[in-house]
Amino acid sequence: MWNRLRLLWSVTAVRLSVAYTLAFGLLALFLVFYMSGSAVQFLTSQYRDAIEREAAGLQLVYERRGINAMIREMEFRSRGPGASLYVVADKEGNILAGNVRDLDKKILITNGWTRHPFPYDGFGDQTNRKDDERSRAVAVTFSLPDAMQVMVGKDIGDPDRFRNIVRRALGLSMTMMLVAGFLIWFFLGRRALKRIDMVSRSTERIMAGDRAERLPVTGANDEFDRLSARMNNMLDRISTLDSGLRDVSDSIAHDLKTPLTRLRNKVEAALASDPGKREAQDVLNEVIADSDSIIKTFNALLMISRVESGSQVAELNELDLTELVHDVHELYEPVAEEEGVELRLETAPGVKTIGNRELLAQGLTNLLDNSLKYGRPENGNPAVVTLRLESEKGKAVISVSDNGPGIPSEHRDKVRERFHRLDKSRSKPGSGLGLALVEAVAKLHSGTLELGDSEPGLSARLVLPAK
């Protein structure tokens, strides 16, 4: 589950959806708090204006008709709907008259507006309530000439209720918005991730050698379809260029191979019919050897071209590498003995892979050829070449190591390229295509060719997936 969510979070569309949802939520939160606060402030301001008008009216009644008339006016007003709060108290804060049963005496003996809403109890309220359960009000207190204190106030239950309603609505709307945002994020992310998975699978098939595979186009005409269409056009162009290049390479190889083969056949026929002088025979033998070398080079080029184009993919089958390595060792043992090289064999039983026997045998013989040609110690010690097969962490590893001079680390990537040779003088036989072919065979089998140091000498490892 968490891995799936991490994959969803890696999708740009999902991250944008989350960012937009959070931005909208924060803006909505700010607006709701600002509007509710402004509304409460507006209602409180209106209450203050109403309180000031009532206080002025009561003072006017007191000045004209006295204290008793003012108290009667208070009692009359307190019986109306939405009545204000009225209190007449002595200078000690003891309540003498009004519609408030109990409140803090400091409010009654301090003239002016209360700084904060204060709790109070009306005559209809329960006794011994906690402060957070009592009604709250704002009020103004003023003194009369006869040492009386008068308080006029308003219950602020309506603004408080308004604030609570707004905040409850805010909580509900925010919850619904977050749930909706999460659902949009989840389904949008799943859709985007599904499209990306489809593209990934197509690219894996293309990289595996299926040149006819193309990225999926669903017909939705969205950004994924537009991108896939452009990528498909690019793949079509690459395929066209690749086919043209391959055709040109094949044509060159075939056009040169045919006349060279005819040349060799003519020379061989001439030798068979009229040997002539000894020197002529030697020259003709050299011509035949050179022709064989050239034909071998072009055969290697054709083989590399076919392997890299993926034309051999359909011929991959289950293969017993132990048997293959034994066969190659048996084939090269007399050759090594003739060259004065000790060819050792170390194999693990029952090592298998999925591959093409002919191509893997060709790659293995190329590695052995390199070791027999270039793996002789420079100090005159006996040459030893070791052919080894082992199973290593789910991989089948075929290695050929020698005790020769090896290959410097800075050249180990270059020697995999076509026609690259360490022997710049070309004094030793070879075309510089052996390791290039092995590299192509390894890639065809989803493997790698690793060149290392066998201390002394070169260690060439062909690492393949084991079955």
- Summarize pLDDT for 226-237 with one digit per residue, the tens: 888 888 888 888
Residue 444: what pLDDT?
81
**Average pLDDT of span 316-337:** 88
**Average pLDDT of span 74-93:** 88
- Summarize pLDDT for 339-386 with one digit per residue, the tens: 888 889 988 888 888 888 888 888 898 888 888 888 788 777 888 888
What is the SS3 assignment for the chain?
CHHHHHHHHCCHHHHHHHHHHHHHHHHHHHHHHHHHHHHHHHHHHHHHHHHHHHHHHHHHHHHHHCHHHHHHHHHHHHCCCCCCEEEEECCCCCEEEECEEEECHHHHHCCEECCCCEEEEECCCCCCCCHHHCEEEEEEEEECCCCCEEEEEEECHHHHHHHHHHHHHHHHHHHHHHHHHHHHHHHHHHHHHHHHHHHHHHHHHHHCCCCCCCCCCCCCCCHHHHHHHHHHHHHHHHHHHHHHHHHHHHHHHHHHHHHHHHHHHHHHHHHHHCCCCHHHHHHHHHHHHHHHHHHHHHHHHHHHHHHHCCCCHHHCEEEEHHHHHHHHHHHHHHHHHHHCEEEEEECCCCCEEEECHHHHHHHHHHHHHHHHHHCCCCCCCCEEEEEEEEEECCEEEEEEEECCCCCCHHHCCHHHCCCCCCCCCCCCCCCCCHHHHHHHHHHHCCCEEEEEECCCCEEEEEEEEEC
- Summarize pLDDT for 136-171 with one digit per residue, the tens: 888 999 998 888 899 999 887 755 565 666 667 777
Q: Please, which pLDDT band fits residue 314 given cuts at 50, 70 and 90? A: very low
Residue 435: what pLDDT?
80
- Summarize pLDDT for 220-264 with one digit per residue, the tens: 777 778 888 888 888 888 887 777 566 656 656 665 676 677 777
Residue, of 5 and 312, whose pLDDT is higher: 5
- Report the chain's mean pLDDT, rounded to a whole number: 78
Q: Please, which pLDDT band fits residue 86 given cuts at 50, 70 and 90? A: very high
